[in-house]
Structure 1
Amino acid sequence: MSCPSQYAVQSMSVRSSGAVGSLLSLVSSINLQNLPTYKPRTVKPTVAAPTNVTVPAPGEGVALYRVTTSNGDTCILLKTDALVEVKFKVHGVEETGDAYVPEKTIVDGNCQYSDSASMRISWSEYVLFWEFAKTPGGDTWYVSNIELTVGTSLPAYHTIRAHGSHFKLVHNNHKMLFPTPVGKSYSCDESVVHLEAKDKEAKDQGLSGSLLLRAFQLQPFMYKGADFSQSFECNAQLRFRDETAPLAVGSTLAIAVLMTVTGYGIYRYFKIKKVQYNTME
């Protein structure tokens, strides 16, 4: 029996390799039911962030408003992230309009007097007007008035009836706002100033408003520097009020007790004296 030639062996080996390769290819292409199918691992593509989405930096949104004198000295300084809110009624339903006070505004004011000053912040159809004063002793400054003027040409306020093209909201000017020792700045994490309408037509429409002040710091009557002086925090005022209220209540109670005891003593004195007089007779 003759042995296969070398050529025949090589040919058979090639055919066997081809058959094995075809068989493996056929098996790998079959997806049997109830058996896991493994996918090749791929790297998840990085998706670029939308260009219109930004992460705010710390302190972003807090604006600085400054009034300077004719020679360039800073006389009023205000730092805050502020929002004005207006409420009104349309056919008996309360509506709300609001606007952030932007960083870019028109700022002017008057600092020519030593015991009074003013600041005006204007943007769009809004004007926020501040007035400052000192107590008679001159040792404390405070905000004596805040006025918010809004134009009815803004879409949110088309339904508001007003004299002319604007309406005005003011705070209750019988209250001193933010009293602070002269030479210091007033600071508070959050403050709210309530505003109300003065004329009857505006009141009939339920007009009122609020000035929301976040990260708030304020100082008028500045002539010695361009930055805020030492801050007088609103929490200190709250503590002062908390300590003052019990003291006032205690003093009132002590006075009432003293008056009662004194009155009773006087009554007893005249009562006993009258009895003694009647006995002698």
Structure 2
Amino acid sequence: MARRVAIVYLNCLIICATTTALVSALTINQATTKPRYTKFSASTTEGIGPLATPVSSVAQSKNDDSGVAYYRLFHSKTGATCILLKTDAVVEVVFKLHDLDEQADSFIPEKALIEGDCKNEDYAFMRISWTGYSLVINFAKTPGGERWYISSLGLSVSPDLPQFHGIPIQRKSSIKLYHRQMLIPTTVGKSYSCSELEVPLETDEEDNPPPGLRGTLYLRLLQVQPFMYKSEEFEPARECKPQMLYRDETAPIAVGSTLAVAVLLTISGYGVYRYFKVKNVQYNTME
């Protein structure tokens, strides 16, 4: 009777341990939708101080194209469009001031200064400049020239702007932020389109950045195409996929696995103990 109870108890422990481990492992396939950002509002203005001028109100709905601007770079020799960018964008810069996080936002205005170079068949860049800000977008092609992508972005901000007064940085230096990972690889000859794209910007230690400096580039209703040869307008677009945020499941898996191993060891030890105890009792009874 005691042996049957022990076996039933062992089976229950095995089932519980296995179920816990499986539940922890299966959560790795669960994705959480990334929440929308709310950087765009109808009351934002572009400019500095009393000379600030209102910018077109940005859409409350992501499908509303109000506030969207076109930025076009022309080929220096042919005069044809070689890079075309359409978006409604805002730059966010976060920095520490008196040990507190301060934030400065700036919309990229429609009438920004556009510069760049697209003479090289495999590399090109566009620089968008406005009051105190400069955003450089670098484009490249994959080996073989089948796809284009954004290879890096660089943001420079003047510390002389009023919202950055007090930031611990040399006055002759700019506030610099970068994104150096590949973005939006797309087939050459096609454009890339995305209703919302959020690009994190980070510092480079070689710039001796002030503590806590970071940034984000928010792009709404984005469409972009470099290496244009045949048309002055966008070619058919590759649509972006919804951004998904995956939770780190390393801890649940580790906990579940550890629990399963601990239970199995306990079961094995108890089984060995019961085996020798029952055998010893039977031997003593026979004597």
CA gap of 1:56–1:186, structure 2 versus 1, over 3 A, is closer
- Which residue does the alignment assign to 2:122? 115
User: For the residues of structure 1 that align with 2:213 and 2:206, how far apart are their CA atoms?
Assistant: 10
Q: Which has the larger radius of gyration?
A: 1
**What secondary structure, in the 3-state scheme, does the structure 2 residue paired with 1:156 have?**
helix
CA contact (8 A) 2:57 2:67 kept: no
- Which residue does the alignment assign to 1:232? 238
- Which residue does the alignment assign to 2:104? 97
- Which residue does the alignment assign to 1:166? 174
- Provide Cα deviations, 1:28-66, integer angstroms capped at 9, x if missing partner: xxxxxxxxxxxxxxxxxxxxxxxx9x9889522100000
The aligned runs of 1:58-207 (5 Å cut-off) are 59-70=65-76, 71-163=78-170, 164-171=172-179, 173=180, 175-199=181-205, 202-207=208-213
User: For the residues of structure 1 that align with 2:158 and 2:79, how far apart are their CA atoms?
Assistant: 32
TM-score (normalizing by structure 2):
0.60
User: For the residues of structure 2 that align with 1:128 and 1:202, how far apart are their CA atoms?
Assistant: 20
**What secondary structure, in the 3-state scheme, does the structure 1 residue paired with 2:169 have?**
coil
Structure 2, unmatched stretches of 5+, are: 1-53, 247-287
User: For the residues of structure 2 that align with 1:160 and 1:148, how far apart are their CA atoms?
Assistant: 17
CA gap of 1:59–1:198, structure 2 versus 1, over 3 A, is same
Give me the CA root mean square deviation: 2.3
CA contact (8 A) 1:197 1:207 kept: yes
User: For the residues of structure 2 that align with 1:56 and 1:129, how far apart are their CA atoms?
Assistant: 23
User: For the residues of structure 1 that align with 2:96 and 2:220, how far apart are their CA atoms?
Assistant: 27
AA of the residue aligned to 2:117? N
User: For the residues of structure 1 that align with 2:160 and 2:146, how far apart are their CA atoms?
Assistant: 43
CA contact (8 A) 2:156 2:176 kept: yes
User: For the residues of structure 2 that align with 1:122 and 1:81, how far apart are their CA atoms?
Assistant: 15
CA gap of 1:201–1:128, structure 2 versus 1, over 3 A, is closer
**Displacement of 1:129:** 0.4
CA gap of 1:56–1:145, structure 2 versus 1, over 3 A, is closer
AA of the residue aligned to 1:160? I
AA of the residue aligned to 1:122? S
CA gap of 1:60–1:159, structure 2 versus 1, over 3 A, is same
Aligned pairs, how many?
185
User: For the residues of structure 2 that align with 1:59 and 1:89, how far apart are their CA atoms?
Assistant: 34
TM-score (normalizing by structure 1):
0.62
**Displacement of 1:167:** 1.3
CA contact (8 A) 1:85 1:210 kept: yes
CA contact (8 A) 2:196 2:219 kept: yes
**Displacement of 1:161:** 2.7
Give structure 1 regions of 4+ aligned residues with deviation exceeding 2 angstroms.
54-60, 199-204
Structure 1, unmatched stretches of 5+, are: 1-51, 243-281
User: For the residues of structure 2 that align with 1:120 and 1:154, how far apart are their CA atoms?
Assistant: 20
